[in-house]
Amino acid sequence: MAINPDYIGRTFEPSEPYEVSRVKIAEFADAVGEPSALCRDRAAAQAAGYPDVIAPPTFVIVISMASTAKLTTDPALGVNYAMVVHGEQSFTHARPLHAGDVVTSQSTIESIRPLGSMTTMTTVTEIRTVDGEHVCTARSTLVERGA
């Protein structure tokens, strides 16, 4: 079943607030091998001008993926997850996320397009603090291979 094109342009409800923690940042930095003290040592991060330890640039996926996963499992959208691969990903950061940030993510389906026997779907997820400050825009393209 192809992905339902009626969903193009649809914006979903923002997620529940997510609190960025020092422990999660350090765990993610360890998992990707990011060696910087700025991800682990609060004093070093503050000496570099940040309020607290900062997240590596792809950390946002932890937050944005949970948001897009919720919408792409909507049965009416018709995504066949067994056939999905990640096609493209980008992040535009207004500033790095830091420990203590409390953010929500809100996703919009930007496009659904046929590509030969495949279908691509691009979602744009806006990450904002609960005070409304825009922190990051994540754009993700999933590719559903033809059956």
With CB under 8 A as the contact rule, the residue among 48, 102, 115, 130 that binds another protein is 48
Binding to another protein by residue 118, rule CB under 8 A? no
Binding to another protein by residue 91, rule CB under 8 A? yes
Alpha carbon distance 138, 83 (integer Å): 22
- Amino acid identity at 9: G
User: Residues in the chain, how many?
Assistant: 147
Binding to another protein by residue 35, rule CB under 8 A? yes
Alpha carbon distance 43, 33 (integer Å): 21
Least Å distance, CB 3 to another protein, is: 18
Binding to another protein by residue 99, rule CB under 8 A? no
Please give the C-alpha separations between residue 110 and each of 2, 100, 120, 144, in angstroms, as whole numbers: 16, 30, 11, 16
Whose CA is closest to 63, among 111, 114, 132, 15?
Answer: 15
Binding to another protein by residue 142, rule CB under 8 A? no
In this structure, the number of other CB atoms found within 10 A of the CB of residue 79 comes to 22
Nearer CB in complex with another protein: 10/137: 137
Binding to another protein by residue 96, rule CB under 8 A? yes
Binding site for another protein (CB under 8 A): 24, 27-39, 41, 44, 47-48, 50, 54-58, 61-62, 65-66, 82-83, 85-93, 95-96, 139
